Amino acid sequence: DTAVSQTPKYLVTQMGNDKSIKCEQNLGHDTMYWYKQDSKKFLKIMFSYNNKELIINETVPNRFSPKSPDKAHLNLHINSLELGDSAVYFCASSTNTGELFFGEGSRLTVL
């Protein structure tokens, strides 16, 4: 059983399009995250939700909108995609001690 699963694994799209990435965790964790990893492998936190409430919102463009329908799901919608949005997006969930469990990533390529 996959602990943190993201779909799709790969996305290729044109500039200006809108796309969504879905994430689900079956670990029973209360906190979930979205991280962005750029081409140099740098990992930057974007958002975090605790029990469906937004608790971390880094300086991310408004085109990025997370949604948490319940504590096991955290989806990411991106409007008006730009070239600079190309990256690998990782979903994660965490225990009380801060240990993060990551999904396998969704590689977004904007042409």
Partner 1 sequence: AQSVTQLGSHVSVSEGALVLLRCNYSSSVPPYLFWYVQYPNQGLQLLLKYTSAATLVKGINGFEAEFKKSETSFHLTKPSAHMSDAAEYFCAVKRGGSEKLVFGKGMKLTVNP
> How far is 19 from 66, CA to CA, in rounded Å?
12
Q: How many residues bind partner 1 (CB under 8 A)?
A: 24
> How far is 106 from 56, CA to CA, in rounded Å?
21
Name the one range near partner 1 by CB under 8 A: 14-22, 59-67, 71-79, 91-99.
91-99
Mark 4-43 with x for binding to partner 1 (rule: CB under 8 A) and - for no binding: x--------------------------x-x------xxxx
| 104 near partner 1, judged by CB under 8 A | yes
Assess contact for 48 and 60: CB atoms under 8 A.
no
In the complex, what is the shortest distance from the CB of residue 79 to partner 1, in angstroms, rounded to a whole number?
Answer: 25
* Alpha carbon distances (Å) from 72 to 36, 61, 66, 80, 101: 20, 25, 13, 27, 13
The residues that bridge with 102 in the sheet, in sequence order, are: 92
| 90 near partner 1, judged by CB under 8 A | yes
> How far is 70 from 25, CA to CA, in rounded Å?
11
Mark 38-57 with x for binding to partner 1 (rule: CB under 8 A) and - for no binding: --xxxx-x--x-x----xx-
Residues that bind partner 1 (CB under 8 A): 4, 31, 33, 40-43, 45, 48, 50, 55-56, 90, 92, 94, 97-105
